[in-house]
Amino acid sequence: MTRRATDRFCAQHLATVETSAGVSDSSLSSKRKLVRVKCPIDPGHSVWLHGLQRHVKRCQSSKEVIRSAWCVPDINVVRPGLDKLLHIHVSSGAPITFEEYEKCIAFVDQFYQSEIQGTRYTEIPLRQLKHNGLERRLNELSNKKHAIQQGSLISAIEDAGLLLCENCFVEFGAGRGELSRYLNQALIQKYNNEPTHTPSFLLIDRSGMRMKFDSKLVKDSEELGSKHPAAPIVHRYKTDIKDLDLRKEDNHQLRRRSDGKGNLVALSKHLCGAATDLTIQCLINYCKNRKDNDDDMMDLAGIVIALCCRHRCSYSSYPLEYLTKYTDIDPRGFEILCKMSSWAVCGRRPQHRDASDSEKIEMRVNDDAELEAEHDDSNDDYNQDGQTHASGLSISRREEVGMKVRSILDYARVRKLEDQGFQVELIRYVDKAISSENVCLVALPIPR
């Protein structure tokens, strides 16, 4: 959110700052003090006091999840019963000590050297591709970052042989459904406006999104001149992926077409941490049911997921069995490991340089330096006196460790899918200059 020129903070953080003990900021407009409050339904966001009653009636968080047959609590959690661990964060507990960092980094170096270094997990090819179906979108935008990512992901789907109009595309963590929208445009372009089947899209997200693109999928087909008589089929499930059972009978969208064609394609653009592991388990459960029951549900044709936010992985859902070859990993140790993955992508601030234990932070000299240093999250890596990080490592060494942790966390996911009969590849689908989170997982079932 943006902030007013007269205010020090944006509206989202205004209430927290204003009600904190000892906080006094003359730059805040007096008429606006204490008029923004936490939403009583979901304290994760705030609302202006004068609009509170109206907001409560419309708050998306108040809408209950529809308990359909496909919603089975914790079905995709590999270690059920550890719900409380999902809410334990190192940052809210005891500070990480030098000894804890030292132990965890030793594990990272040992595991990386023994299992990953010099393998395909480090030699990840760059395949930043364009798709002709997104040319109009690219021409319309001044900031092309997301369109470039979407185009490359859609091209990866096409290269894997999955961009077929008879398939059902299931977008996990769909948000507004933007990736599905432009995938539909790519399908129309691929078939020269004459798709042979009705495209089908299933959008999964636990939040009630505003400004969704669901209806745009249908309108795009009309505006782009699709000659198929039926509009795209678009359904949305509001549920947490941990509770999603795609195998249930009321999910008619995933049943085979009358001509026997069509498969399920799972996709996502930036699926955060635990959501990636829950999605993988959800799809494994789906495949297992197909194998055991041989019913009329679609086969899983492939998975294309842009990996993201490894620092948000969860002890209860991550495939830890692939990381315990050299040592056991407890919940706190796993949290520390995940936290270190962010060292690879947090980026260097202009005023920071590599520092030895005895050196200080080099601060930029300008009027905003003090304010920026006070409120920049990356400053958590430094003590108040400007000493180096609690781990004792320089910035470049932390970046190196962070990249190793990313590779290790992705390694376990690849191994799990391979053990379930998939051929898996990691690719860099965009250059790091476009996004630091630029690794995509592509998994195709091995024919039996």
What is the per-residue pLDDT across 319-371, written as a single tens digit (0 to 9) for each?
999 998 888 898 889 999 999 999 988 755 555 444 443 333 333 333 333 33
Asked whether the predicted pLDDT for residue 385 surpasses 60, the reply is no
384 inside domain: no
| Residue from 200, 197, 195, 196 nearest 225 by CA | 195
In tens, the pLDDT along 173-207 reads 999 899 999 999 899 888 888 888 888 999 999 88
- Among 82-86, 214-218, 222-226, 240-244, the range scoring the smallest mean pLDDT is 82-86
- Domain with 302 in it: what CATH number? 3.40.50.150
Q: Residues 125, 207: one domain?
A: yes
Is 269 found in the same domain as 251? yes
Co-location of 50 and 136 in the same domain: no
**Three-state SS for 144?**
coil
Helix ranges restricted to H, 86-206: 98-111, 135-140, 145-159, 178-190
Is there a domain that residue 224 lies in? Answer: yes
* Residue 180, amino acid: S
> In this structure, are 123 and 41 located in the same domain?
no
40/75 same-domain check: no
Tell me what pLDDT residue 6 has.
79
More confident of the two residues 283 and 377: 283
Statement: residue 418 has pLDDT above 90? yes
- Token couple for 415: 């191994």
Dump pLDDT digits (tens) for 5-46.
877 777 767 665 555 544 444 444 444 445 677 788 777 777
53 shares a domain with 105: no
Instruction: Report the pLDDT value the prediction gives residue 65, as an integer from 0 to 100.
Output: 47
**How many structural domains compose the chain?**
2
Residue 376, in any domain of the structure: no
Same domain, 162 and 193: yes
Mean pLDDT of the chain: 80
Q: Is residue 389 part of a domain?
A: no
Q: How far apart are CA 311 and CA 335, in angstroms?
A: 8
Same domain, 219 and 281: yes
* pLDDT score recorded for residue 15: 61
When pLDDT is averaged across residues 108-122 and rounded to a whole number, the result is: 91
Domain assignment present for 366: no
Q: State the DSSP string of 305-342.
A: EEEE-GGG--TTTS-GGGT-SSS---HHHHHHHHHHHG
| Strand-strand pairing, 200-205 and 168-172 | parallel
| pLDDT value for 94 | 78
Choose from 73-82, 87-96, 221-230 the range with maximum mean pLDDT.
73-82
- Ramachandran angles phi, psi of 235, nearest 5°: -125, 155
pLDDT, mean of residues 274-279: 95
pLDDT value for 61: 67
Residue 38 lies in a domain: yes
Predicted model pTM: 0.78
Q: Confidence band (pLDDT; 50, 70, 90) for 145?
A: confident
Boundary (domain end) residue, out of 44, 62, 80? 62
Percent of the chain past pLDDT 90, that is, above it, reads 37
123 and 181 in one domain?
yes
Residues 213, 255 within the same domain: yes
Within this chain, do residues 167 and 57 fall inside the same structural domain, yes or no? no
Q: Is the pLDDT of residue 250 over 90?
A: no
Per-residue pLDDT tens digits for 291-316: 666 678 899 999 999 999 999 999 99
Range of the domain at 426: 69-348+395-448
Is pLDDT larger for residue 253 or for residue 279? 279
Which tops the pLDDT comparison, 267 or 42? Answer: 267
